[in-house]
Structure 1
Amino acid sequence: MSRRSGRLGIVAATAVALVFGTSLLSPAGPAGARPADPPQLSREGRWLVDQHGRIVLVHGQNLVWKHDPYVPPDSPEGFTATDAEWLAEHGFNGARIGTLWAGVTPDAPGQVDEDYLDDWQRVVDLLADQGIWMQFDFHQDMWHETYGGEGVPDWAAERPAPFDLHPPIKLSFPATYITPELATVYDRFWANEDGVQDGWASAWGAVAKRWGDQPYSMGYDLINEPWAGREWLACPITGCASSYRNEFQPAYERATAAIRRSDPDGIVWYESQLLANQVPNSRFGPVDDGQVGYSWHSYCPFGYLDSQGLPVGVGGCRDYDDTHHRKALEQAETMGATNLMSEFGATDNTELLAIDTAAADDHFTSWMHWAYKHWDDPTTADGRQGMFADDADLSSVKAEKLRTLVRTYPQATAGTPVDLSFDPESGAFRYTYEPATGIEEPTEIYVSPLHYPDGPDIDVAGGRVVGTADHHRILVQATGTEPVTVTID
């Protein structure tokens, strides 16, 4: 069956609703949500699935406030209800939020700062009200402010001997990682010296206790970009195989055990070491947990060189991205996990962003762009990040960047994805999926309001458009068991 917008019937109404941002069939929230079924994402095979069993693709933004008090303020330059609405309106249905260890237990291990969690709860509630999936992230970069970074509490940042006999070396990001002192600090953490790792795991237990039942949770990203310590020189060659086996994975299992005491079902995300951002050779083994995810970052080396002013071009990132996505899928399969590209971008280079997002479409990869706002980020190699020229003014959005990242895409599929493509220049979209029997809720496709100035032309083969939902979504149902193909121009 095929129908097009602009003709009589419900598809014509759909086009009108998309143009004017109205909702015809769903007054608020995701279509078909049942109040008795709290919306959370879980893992089934390689996929993220919602409470209805639909396969979910996440296009999200990182929200990490790296300065004390480690939570964005309730102000225009921080995060307000207007920001949450802006994200949903532009199709960003996910957020990786920096609920930092430094904020959770700032004074001593096990002493939880409930006020800090309350401050984040304000943001969490705003995101949940818009149906935005949230990944809780213990973000850290270069461990602590002592080394020019952030993330861990002061009590976990005692300087090791003999380095404490002289002032700490503080280089620009990411150079401090390779200093002997910081390498030693990470080695001490992996060895659980002075019980610091126990304190980290305990803090994760507190986060799970607070947000284990949180609507729109998609789980816990255990540590951002871990560093292998003094073994780092071997990582580009061996993939830090011994570090994964003897340090990372045992630590992640300890944190998972703390989380599971409060949340038996939330996804626990294992993140690969920092250098895997450029050389995709993560080495996690099988994980004895049914709800685990592989969190990975993609920062093409050509993109980094471009950000430093070297005119090398980013065309080589196409092969890099394809390899990175394939390796991520292989790593997730080894682990028994789903996977998420939880960082990419950190640049205004729209050619690179287009390459990154097209590769994600090719592999049905969910992603979190770095970053929503710049927020005076102290640890970045490229200051040209964030969606806005002025964090306090949403009208200062970088238009070309927005048009590249705002994509027509399936947010929830009542079946299995087969093929997906979107052209950010023309808006041409094509999506094919195999419908699943037994799922009553429709497939939801976000239709970018930026790419169809005269309204979208929608063609559905093997199904039909049955209505719209808020934030520019169309609802599609299969009319049989044959594949459904949705084409939008």
Structure 2
Amino acid sequence: MEIRTEKNRFVDAYGRTLMLRGVNLAGSSKVPYPHGATYVKEGFFDHRNVSFIGRPFPLEEAREHFQRLKTWGFTFLRFLITWEAVEHAGPGIYDEAYLEYLHEVLRIAAEFDIQVFIDPHQDVWSRFTGGDGAPGWTLEMVGFDLTRLHETGAAIVHAVHGDPFPRMIWPTNAHKLAAATMYALFFAGKDLAPLTTIEGESAQEFLQRHYIAAIRKVANTLKDLPNVVGFDTMNEPAKGYIGVKDLNHCCGRPRLGDFPTPLQAMVLASGLPQEVHIWDIDLRGNRPVGKRLLNPQGVRLWKEGFEDIWRQNGVWDIGADGKPRIIRPHHFYEKDGHILDFNQDYYRPFANRFAREIRKEMPDAIIFIETEPSSPAPRWEPDDAQNIVYAPHWYDGFTLILKEYNPWISVDFFSGKFVFGKKAIQRSFRQQLHRYVEEARERLNGCPVFIGEVGIPFDLSRKRAYRTGDYSAQIQAMDRSLRALEENLLSYTIWNYSPDNDHAHGDQWNDEDLSIFSRDDQKNPADIHSGGRALEAILRPYPIATAGEPISLAFDIRTKVLEFIFKPDPSLAAPTELYVPQYQYPRGFLVEAPHARIESIPEAQKVKVWVTQPLDTFRLRILPI
């Protein structure tokens, strides 16, 4: 199936409006294979000698998983790779064996008519700063000693911290020294750290050049595969210290656990112990609950021959009284009187550079752009890259952070304010997602919107479902998120499908557990649905391709009734096609569609609809028998 963009729509070769459904494949692709899970300490720092061959799964398992995804109606995947997977051995040294493996995996996907776009994934910079993405050598080349990041409070790292790893604490790394510094260097090193160079060039140029070259190498490898339609620029690109107004105060949310201010973080890295606030989050909000002395042994983070990057660049220093002092309090906030805007000043030029380089290999590649979660899109100018898609992420924040589902309480993903009541929550979810549609129209020249990540944790209420087998809370939580997406007629990829998810360590990364499939739930391998989780909410009928303009879509998981209204386009000869999962209709279904010719194809789980009379709007319903 051809996928291209046309104004604010995805369309196929017939001009039909496409509604894309898929998953992120896979959460565990963030870590090496086979023993790279974040809780594993052995060999963790041997970062140049790793392999990602086997992520998302060994080749011999590929057809099993692609067949399952196809059966579940997921024919468009956000396919995860990492910069580390491609270039872990050193700058300019590419893992050719991994690239060959990657090509073969996606070639097999094409056998199932599964389309993909490549997501160069990162979270809080790298595995060594508590996330994933960049190779370890990127940190070493600017002076970080990877073995001391955790001890000096520059990052919280699962492999070093050990189990139990605190709930959803990893995002705090975006505001700790290591990741916040690397983001500032990568996006704005020329402005903010002009004295910091790597092999004779600015840290910004060195890092961006190598990152983009690595992903261009991937594009070169995959350019002969017609099912690879495009590339994301970078997963959740973060601003780090860019935009921080006052280095004496905490920045960013959520704040959990030990949370030094930026100045404290810089001082800690220089070997000076600091008493920092400990933060927590609950129904009373995100607040400090105590204090703790960090780095009591006075360990110095920087390698021999390196000094603190920000002290070197004149941001702070040690005064005559032996105490740290700020020299440039607004260093990250303004430059020459200009208030720094991360998305506009730094992400936008990077995204354009990325698009130009990728299109040297794949001229028609769709470029998916995104910003930090809950951060507005940049303003796109006429000379900026065309054929783009706005691909932000959205989550039910209350359920995600607290790992609890409450049908009566939620949180606005953007404002952080509580929302009470079932109807108010559904309305809030719908409005939050519509905000992205408005942003695309106002700031991105009306490009299509695609929700790159949406999902819920399955280890709710201290993994109660794993003990009881009752996934009703997960089903309800997933359903209200997916209903809000349908109300906005949005395409999406669910986070995520991890083939090696288990009940002990979830998606094998920082104890996240959002996979819609788990081997530990697979009681009958002969049943393609076995191992699926919350499928009652996830396997929803939907219009794959509409011969016209979709107007409204709603699916009720209790009654199994789908209602779809669209404005037919009489110039299109191809039918409207819908995915109708047998999982939801085991005894069959009825299609109510007056003034239409209907063809049902059970083996493909599809229904084709030809509107036979000129109509302004066409309504169809699918009901269980």
Both structures adopt the same fold (TM-score exceeding 0.5): yes
User: What does the per-residue CA deviation read over 1:407-436, in whole Å, with 9 as the maximum and x for residues that have no partner?
Assistant: 010011121111211112221011122222
- Offset at 1:361? 0.8
User: What does the per-residue CA deviation read over 1:385-416, in whole Å, with 9 as the maximum and x for residues that have no partner?
Assistant: 33225287755846660110000100111211
- 2:452 is matched with which residue? 342
- 2:465 is matched with which residue? none
- Offset at 1:462? 3.3
Say if 1:392 and 1:352 are closer, same or farther in 2 by CA, change over 3 A.
closer
User: Does the CA-based 8 Å contact 1:408-1:448 persist in structure 2?
Assistant: yes
Give 3-state SS (helix, strand or coil) of 2:140's partner: coil
User: What does the per-residue CA deviation read over 1:295-334, in whole Å, with 9 as the maximum and x for residues that have no partner?
Assistant: 1111122222440689974446424422322111122222
Counterpart code for 2:606 = R
2:564 paired residue among 423, 431, 448: 431
- 1:443 is matched with which residue? 576
- Offset at 1:161? 4.7
Give 3-state SS (helix, strand or coil) of 1:80's partner: helix
User: Does the CA-based 8 Å contact 1:49-1:55 persist in structure 2?
Assistant: yes
1:136 paired with 2:110, answer no
Say if 1:378 and 1:177 are closer, same or farther in 2 by CA, change over 3 A.
farther
- 1:154 is matched with which residue? 136
For 2:480 and 2:60, locate their aligned partners in 1 and report how far apart those are by CA, in whole Å. 29
1:386 paired with 2:516, answer yes
- 1:105 is matched with which residue? 87
Say if 1:411 and 1:146 are closer, same or farther in 2 by CA, change over 3 A.
same
- 1:262 is matched with which residue? 361
2:15 paired residue among 49, 53, 65: 53
Give 3-state SS (helix, strand or coil) of 2:117's partner: strand
1:475 paired with 2:582, answer no
Percent sequence identity over aligned pairs:
23
- 2:103 is matched with which residue? 121
Say if 1:108 and 1:50 are closer, same or farther in 2 by CA, change over 3 A.
farther
For 1:254 and 1:399, locate their aligned partners in 2 and report how far apart those are by CA, in whole Å. 40
User: What does the per-residue CA deviation read over 1:198-235, in whole Å, with 9 as the maximum and x for residues that have no partner?
Assistant: 11111232222233342233311111111111136677
- Offset at 1:75? 6.0
Query: Unaligned 5+ residue runs, structure 2?
Result: 33-50, 157-168, 190-201, 245-250, 254-332, 334-338, 411-421, 459-473
1:401 paired with 2:531, answer no
More displaced, 471-480 or 213-222? 213-222
Counterpart code for 2:135 = P
- 1:330 is matched with which residue? 438
- 1:25 is matched with which residue? none
Say if 1:242 and 1:381 are closer, same or farther in 2 by CA, change over 3 A.
farther
User: Does the CA-based 8 Å contact 1:306-1:312 persist in structure 2?
Assistant: no
For 2:556 and 2:98, locate their aligned partners in 1 and report how far apart those are by CA, in whole Å. 42
- Offset at 1:338? 1.2
- 2:182 is matched with which residue? 185
For 2:232 and 2:406, locate their aligned partners in 1 and report how far apart those are by CA, in whole Å. 33
Say if 1:411 and 1:174 are closer, same or farther in 2 by CA, change over 3 A.
same
Larger Rg: 2
Counterpart code for 1:271 = E
1:200 paired with 2:211, answer yes
Say if 1:399 and 1:99 are closer, same or farther in 2 by CA, change over 3 A.
closer
1:67 paired with 2:163, answer no
Structure (1 or 2) with the greater helix fraction: 1
For 1:132 and 1:179, locate their aligned partners in 2 and report how far apart those are by CA, in whole Å. 39
Give 3-state SS (helix, strand or coil) of 1:229's partner: coil
For 1:413 and 1:176, locate their aligned partners in 2 and report how far apart those are by CA, in whole Å. 43
1:294 paired with 2:390, answer yes
Counterpart code for 1:383 = D
Counterpart code for 2:111 = D
Q: TM-score, normalised by structure 2?
A: 0.65
For 1:58 and 1:220, locate their aligned partners in 2 and report how far apart those are by CA, in whole Å. 16
User: Does the CA-based 8 Å contact 2:215-2:358 persist in structure 1?
Assistant: yes
1:176 paired residue among 173, 176, 189: 173
For 1:77 and 1:425, locate their aligned partners in 2 and report how far apart those are by CA, in whole Å. 38
For 1:100 and 1:473, locate their aligned partners in 2 and report how far apart those are by CA, in whole Å. 35
For 1:163 and 1:113, locate their aligned partners in 2 and report how far apart those are by CA, in whole Å. 24
The number of residues matched between the two structures is 445
- 1:271 is matched with which residue? 370
Counterpart code for 1:158 = E
More displaced, 92-101 or 110-119? 110-119
Structure of greater relative contact order (alpha carbons < 8 Å, 6+ residues apart): 1
Say if 1:94 and 1:390 are closer, same or farther in 2 by CA, change over 3 A.
farther
1:377 paired with 2:507, answer yes
- 2:63 is matched with which residue? 81
Q: How does 1:344-363 map to 2 (within 5 A)?
A: 344-348=454-458, 349-363=474-488
Query: Unaligned 5+ residue runs, structure 1?
Result: 1-38
User: What does the per-residue CA deviation read over 1:14-66, in whole Å, with 9 as the maximum and x for residues that have no partner?
Assistant: xxxxxxxxxxxxxxxxxxxxxxxxx4321111111122222111111111212
For 2:437 and 2:57, locate their aligned partners in 1 and report how far apart those are by CA, in whole Å. 39
Counterpart code for 2:450 = L
